Amino acid sequence: MRNIFLILLTGLLFTSCKKETQPAITGDCENLKQGVLSDNFVLVKTAINNYIEQLSSNLHTQEDLDKLVAYISTKCTNATAFCYNCIFTYPGQSEIIITFNSGGSTIKKVIDITGHPYEKMRFGSMHE
């Protein structure tokens, strides 16, 4: 009986000591790059929206757009804010440029970020 108790106690200790992990930013980077390379909007949208969720503030403002660009540049690849709220649609859109090297070539895509000013940013589209 004592052996069964020790086995159960040991099993409980090992199964209850699992550490919670943060979302895989590396996975988002891989998805972002793969999505850009293959023109897969779903992968890019998921990665960009996940990056937006990681920000302390994710409103569609110039300041938060700059934070998104800095965050992507730090965690994944070169990103540049091209313009804020410069695409006159409803809601307005901002553009960021993503660049990275792949197979000896420089890959460059424009990512549209949309949202009303002072509402949450979100992925809008991707183009050349």
Distance CA 18, CA 16 (A): 6
pLDDT digits (tens, 9 = 90+) for 75-120: 999 999 999 999 999 999 999 999 999 999 999 999 999 999 889 9
pLDDT digits (tens, 9 = 90+) for 31-58: 999 999 999 999 999 999 999 999 999 9
Q: Count CB neighbours of 88 within 10 A.
A: 7
Residue type, 38: S
Q: Name residues whose C-beta falls within 8 Å of residue 16's C-beta, 6 or more positions apart in sequence.
A: none
| pTM for the predicted model, two decimal places | 0.77
Give 119's DSSP letter: S
Q: What stretch of H or E contains 98? A: strand 93-102
pLDDT digits (tens, 9 = 90+) for 63-74: 999 999 999 999
Do 121 and 62 touch, CB atoms closer than 8 A?
A: no
